[in-house]
Structures are given as structure tokens and as C-alpha cells.
Amino acid sequence: MSSSSTSSPTASALLGEARRLTDAILNEWADRLEREVPGRNGAALGYALRGPGKRVRPALLISAYRAVGGHDDAIAGVAAAVEAVHTYSLVHDDLPCMDNDDFRRGRPTTHRQFDVATATRAGFLLVPVAARMLVGGVSALGLDEATLGQMARILFQAGGAEGMVGGQWLDLAAEQRAVELPELTAIHRGKTGALIRAACELGAIAGRARPEALTALAAYGDDIGVAFQIADDVLDCTGTSAQLGKTAGRDEALAKSTYVRLLGIDRAREEALVLARRAVAHLEATGLPPSALGELADYIVTRNS
Ligand code: GRG
């Protein structure tokens, strides 16, 4: 899967660069919100935005942008918008009415650090913040309003009932109930895959991708998004809380249907690898350089955190 080229950046370098570029915007917004939003709400927004996540979605978005010829670091504004939507989803996912978790990104969850009402408000407030980050990023890249509209539609459709929220609904409704593989894949594709696919599409559109390249990057994102959640399912039962920065064994405790429950660890890992290979094949078939996105695909299915 990885490119044999010695000049290919490693996944660790790609994630590090994505963190450096994106965190500059996330921290700027955290400072601003802490200053402008009074009391605990501002503090909780800053806390959530500064959470030390892996920045996988920004790395995918920036790599997709570069794969189609983009070269402006202002792409970080678009990557920050996706990361803000992702951050809101984690804040809400951890609430007592959903997965009820105390530990995330190596720290207390936002509602444990503050309180449930404050974390709920902070999560909602991150959605318009994401929209403003997107506007800022698109304008810094010099893209026109029609492109902004197209990108906003992709991001917020992926974050909504047809994507992440819809997948989460299905996931919550499926707790305590046996789910077969096609339904589980649909849940994963919505809950986790939709935003990852959107990250790849947004990078491509920002880089003014040809239609075939955009289609290939969307297909890459679709496969790697499901593979990401399968790897997450595997890590939930093979990793430790310290290693993951979140409570391990949560799926078992919540009696969730997962790929591991349906297939066992080895076959779940194999399925994730198959999807990662297929993701990269979409790029190769279209003549896109697979090096950085190949490294990230490899990382996504072999990571240990
Ligand atoms: C109103 C029903 C309803 C839902 C609101 C909470 C929510 C929206 C959606 C949940 C989406 C979610 C949390 C999916 C799980 C995705 C996932 C595997 C997250 C972990 O991603 P990493 O490993 O995390 O990239 P870091 O911390 O590294 O960024």
C-alpha cells in the first residue's frame, strides 16, 4: 500500500504537519472564543478546540488538496472547519445521553471537565464556528462563492442526518440488538465515514480537481472512512485507555455491534486492510499520486492509537 518512493512523507510527518497548520487556526479560534464568549461556555469551547486529537481528517484533506496540485497553506482553514465539526461530534458523543464517557484525547471529556449543560452548548456552538472557519479558509484561498456553497453543502450534509448524525442515530438505536454486516457498514459509513469522505472531497474541490479526480478522492474517502471505524472497533478491544486516550472496551460495555463482534479481530483487521487497498486503487486508476494518501491509508488501518 505504501509508496516505495523514498521521498514519500511518512504518515507521522503528514499528521505532524496537519497539526501544525490546523492547530494555528484552531488555537486562534479558541483564544477568540475564550475572550468573547463569557464564562464557562467560552472556557469549554477553548477546552474542546484545544483537544490534542490525531488530526487525521485535516491530514487527509490537505493531502487530497495537494494530490490535485494545491499548494497554499491557507487550506488549513478548511481543514480546521472539518476538525471543528469532528470535535463537536466527540463532545456530544461522550455525553451521558450518548456514549457516556469520562476520558477523551487523554483528558477528561468536556462534560466531566465542566458540566453536561455547558458541554452540550459548547458542542452546538462549534457548528457555526466550523461554518465561519470554512468561510475564512475558502476566502483565504481566493475561491469564489459558488465553490464556498458547494463546499458548505458537502461539509454540512456529511455532518447531518444523511451522514454523521444519521449514522449516530442508527448506532444508538442498534445498541443491545444484533446487527448484520450490511447494516453495520451503513452505520459506520454514516457515523464516521461521511466526514472523512467529506474531508477528501473538500481538499479536492479546494484544489480545483478535475471531475474524475474528485470522484476518485470521494471513493478513496468512502473506503478509508469505513476502514477507519473498523480499525477503531479493533483498537477498542485490543488497546489500552492510556494508549487510545479514551476509555478502551467501551463497545463491549455498551453492547455495541462492531466488526469485531461480527467477524472477530483477525477478520475485522483483514477487512480494514482490503478497504484501505481498494481506497488507494481508486487513486491509482485515475493517475493521482497515491504516496501521501497511501501512507495515511496504511496508517489508518495499522495505527495503535
Ligand atoms: C444528535 C444523534 C446525534 C448525534 C450528534 C455525536 C454525533 C453527532 C456523532 C457521533 C460521531 C462519532 C463520534 C463517530 C465516531 C468517529 C470516531 C471513530 C472518532 C474518533 O476519531 P479519532 O480517532 O479521534 O480521529 P481524535 O481524538 O484523534 O481526533
**Per-position DSSP letters for 236-284, written without gaps between them:** HHHS-HHHHTS-TTHHHHTT---HHHHH-HHHHHHHHHHHHHHHHHHHH
Q: Whose CA is nearest to atom 24 of ligand 1?
A: 53
pLDDT attached to residue 85: 98
pLDDT of 3: 41
Query: Is the distance from CB of 47 to CB of 31 less than 8 angstroms?
Result: no
pLDDT value of position 107:
97
Say yes or no: CB of residue 22 within 6 Å of ligand 1: no
Q: In this predicted structure, what is the pLDDT of residue 2?
A: 44
61 located within any domain: yes
Q: Ligand 1 centroid to 251 CA: how many Å?
A: 14
DSSP state of 73: G
Q: State the burial class of residue 278 (Cβ atoms within 10 Å of its Cβ: 0-12, 13-18, 19+).
A: middle
Gap between the Cα atoms of 104 and 100, Å rounded: 11
In a domain? residue 181: yes
Total tally of structural domains belonging to the chain: 1
SS3 220: helix
Closest CA to 250 of 50, 92, 41, 102: 102
Q: Is the CB of 229 under 6 A from ligand 1?
A: yes
DSSP for residue 74: G
User: 193 vs 59, 81, 138, 229, 249, CA distance in Å?
Assistant: 15, 17, 23, 8, 21
Q: How far is CA 33 from CA 100, 118, 131, 234, in A?
A: 26, 14, 14, 36
User: Which residue, chain included where needed, has cell 479526480?
Assistant: 213
Q: Render the burial of 283-304: b for 16+ CB within 10 Å, e for the rest.
A: beebebbbbbbbbbbbbbbebe
CA of 192 to the centre of ligand 1 (A): 6
Angle at 210 between CA 228 and CA 56, to 5 degrees: 20
| 0.85 surpassed by pTM | yes
Q: Does 277 map to a domain?
A: yes
Task: Kindly list the distances between the CA atom of residue 167 and the CA atoms of 15, 89, 192, 298, in Å, as whole numbers in the listed order.
Answer: 26, 12, 8, 25
Q: The domain that contains 213 carries what CATH number?
A: 1.10.600.10
Q: Is the CB of 205 under 6 A from ligand 1?
A: no
Q: What is the pLDDT of residue 18?
A: 98
Q: pLDDT 10s per residue in the chain (305 long)?
A: 544 445 689 999 999 999 999 999 999 999 999 999 999 999 999 999 999 999 999 999 999 999 999 999 999 999 999 999 999 999 999 999 999 999 999 999 999 999 999 999 999 999 999 999 999 999 999 999 999 999 999 999 999 999 999 999 999 999 878 899 999 999 999 999 999 999 999 999 999 999 999 999 999 999 999 999 999 999 999 999 999 999 999 988 888 889 999 999 999 999 999 999 999 999 999 999 889 999 999 999 999 99
Rounded to an integer, what distance in angstroms lies between the CA atom of residue 75 and that of residue 83?
13
Q: What gap in Å lies between CA 61 and CA 72, rounded to an integer?
A: 13
Task: Give distance in angstroms: CA of 154 to centre of ligand 1.
Answer: 18
Nearest ligand 1 atom, CA 93: 6
Q: Residue 224 has what pLDDT? A: 98
Mutate to test the pocket of ligand 1, among 15, 54, 89 (most ligand atoms within 8 A of CB): 89
258 lines ligand 1 (CB under 6 A): no
pLDDT at residue number 5? 44
- Closest listed residue to residue 195, CA positions, set 163, 226, 230: 163
Structural domain containing residue 134: 11-302
- Check if the beta carbon of residue 276 is closer than 8 Å to that of residue 1: yes
What's the grid cell of residue 132? 465561519
In a domain, 3, yes or no: no
* Residue 128 counted as domain residue: yes
Q: Which residue is closest in CA terms to ligand 1's atom 3? A: 165
Gap from CA of 7 to ligand 1 centroid (Å): 33
Q: How many CB atoms lie within 10 A of CB 69?
A: 12
Distance CA 223, CA 276 (A): 7
Residue 52, in any domain of the structure: yes
- Indicate whether residue 226 lines ligand 1 (CB < 6 A): no
Phi-psi region of 245 (alpha: psi -120 to 50; beta: other; left: phi over 0): left
Find out whether the beta carbon of 126 lies less than 6 Å from any atom of ligand 1: no
Whether the CB of 34 sits within 6 Å of ligand 1? no
- Note whether residue 28 is domain-resident: yes
Q: Determine the distance separating the centroid of ligand 1 and the alpha carbon of 89, expressed in angstroms.
A: 5
Does ligand 1 lie within 6 Å of residue 89's CB atom?
yes
Residue 6 included in any domain? no
What's the gap in Å between 85 CA and the centre of ligand 1? Answer: 9
Cα(287) to centroid(ligand 1), Å: 32
